[in-house]
A and B are shown apart, each in its own frame.
Chain A
Amino acid sequence: MKQKLTYTLVLCLLVLVGCTASDGECRKEKVVVMGVSLYKTVFDAKKEAFVSSPTKEKMTIKGLNNDSILYQEQSLSTFNLPLRALQSTSAFVLQRGILEPDTIVISHENVNQFISLECGCFVYHTIKSTATTTHQIDSLVIENTYVQNVPENHLRIYYRVN
């Protein structure tokens, strides 16, 4: 009986111990991006007031001074923008259709968050302020200041209706 018990224990334990080895890979969502949604503002004659509603636009988007295009002539109502991890200002060029592009500037604080040895350090952001050119964009509204590795909307862009 003692021998059987010992062998059973040994087998179970070897299985358990073997299962605990880390493979050194990160299993967490690594993407930290600012969620943006597009709105348009129109005059509602019935209500005799300006009203806003979500809109879908054909957009081309890239970072300022960055040749890599994030979205190329895509029909979007929401999209994600990667803020800079090592600088406190991120700027993006947004072109609606073939109209004159706008540049939006996001000022943010960066916070290094050590996740694990496998995942390294994530950089989260707190949006402090925004600015934009107003060729097509009417205004920007910060919806959520804290940018983490979870899908959320942080910024609303209000376009003028042409």
Chain B
Amino acid sequence: MSHLKRHIILILLLCSVAVVSLAQGKVDPKSQKDSKLTYNGWSAHADIASPLMGLAVNKGVLTGEAGVDVNLSNRFFPILELGYGAVNAQVTNGATYSAAAPFARLGMNFNLLKTKDKEGNMKPHRNYAYLGMRYGMSLVNYQLTNVPITRGYWNENQLLSLDGKNAYAGWGELVAGVRVDMAKGFTMGWSVRMKLFLHTSLDEKQLLWYVPGYGNSSGNTFTLNYTLGYTYYTQAERSKFKK
């Protein structure tokens, strides 16, 4: 599928989430005045989709990641995600790529749903749709082996090996997703990410064929996350649930 087609699908997806949030109704002007951020809790989640996708689809890729976010006014969710990925792949020409690296992402989720009721009071917050941004980074140790050089007419063939340590890779992500409180703070979430490779410490970006936490560096990548975790609500937040 072309990049354009993928971009169109993602934009439609993001728009659908935004439209749902707008359909929640206009924000009370009174509530807009109240701009003070309040701490409402934190949440810790582990991603289930990445390791399962590695086992089922991307054989040779194993990734695990988890994240912690903080709830500010039920609207802003600063988030830190940490993970570790390892890849060992071979392509049709016989060349292999292996890499293993920890990765981290820093960013923010924005709750798209209304956070206050008609009276301007904070609404109980358990489920929400969000858009988010991330900056991801990784220090990759990679190894390329059996990379072919061929010049058919002269019957010249050679296999090269290349490797490198601590190659820095940085990328940006746009995230759209939902999070649902299933019971007593145990939450699950779905999210999709469009990733854009930004920079690397290497002169030849293509040497980092696959970056843990990002994916194949030859273009934009899309990934799916399904998270399970626990959300801690502050006493004030919990009291709203009982009303």
Residues in chain A within 8 A of chain B (CB atoms): 1-2, 5-6, 8-10, 12-17, 19-22, 24-26, 63, 66, 68, 70, 82-87, 90, 112, 114-121, 123
Q: A10-B190, A13-B224 are in contact. Are A19 and B153 (CB under 8 A)?
A: no
User: For window 171-198 of chain B, which residues contact chain A by CB distance below 8 Å?
Assistant: 176-178, 180, 190-192
The one of A1, A70, A90, A117 that contacts B91, using a Cβ cutoff of 8 Å: A117
4 new A-B contacts, CB < 8 A, other than A12-B9, A12-B192, A17-B192, are A16-B9, A19-B5, A115-B206, A117-B97
Question: How many residue pairs between the two chains, A and B, have CB atoms under 8 Å in the bound complex?
Answer: 130
Shortest CB–CB separation between residue B112 and chain A, in angstroms? Answer: 10
The one of B147, B149, B158, B176 that contacts A9, using a Cβ cutoff of 8 Å: B176
Max chain B C-beta neighbours (<10 A), residue from A1, A22, A117: A117
Chain B residues contacting A14 (CB-CB under 8 Å) are 224
User: Would B154 and A114 count as touching, CB distance under 8 A?
Assistant: no
Q: What secondary structure prevails in chain A residues at the interface with B?
A: mixed
The one of B154, B206, B222 that contacts A17, using a Cβ cutoff of 8 Å: B222
User: Would B192 and A13 count as touching, CB distance under 8 A?
Assistant: yes
User: Would B154 and A66 count as touching, CB distance under 8 A?
Assistant: yes
User: Would B153 and A68 count as touching, CB distance under 8 A?
Assistant: yes
Q: A84-B154, A84-B156, A117-B95 are in contact. Are A17 and B149 (CB under 8 A)?
A: no
The one of A17, A19, A22, A86 that contacts B156, using a Cβ cutoff of 8 Å: A86
Shortest CB–CB separation between residue B78 and chain A, in angstroms? Answer: 22
User: Would B9 and A15 count as touching, CB distance under 8 A?
Assistant: yes
User: Would A16 and B148 count as touching, CB distance under 8 A?
Assistant: no
Shortest CB–CB separation between residue B66 and chain A, in angstroms? Answer: 19
Q: A112-B160, A123-B151 are in contact. Are A20 and B221 (CB under 8 A)?
A: yes
B27 is an interface residue with CB less than 8 A from chain A:
no
How many angstroms between the C-alpha atoms of A118 and B216 in the bound complex?
12
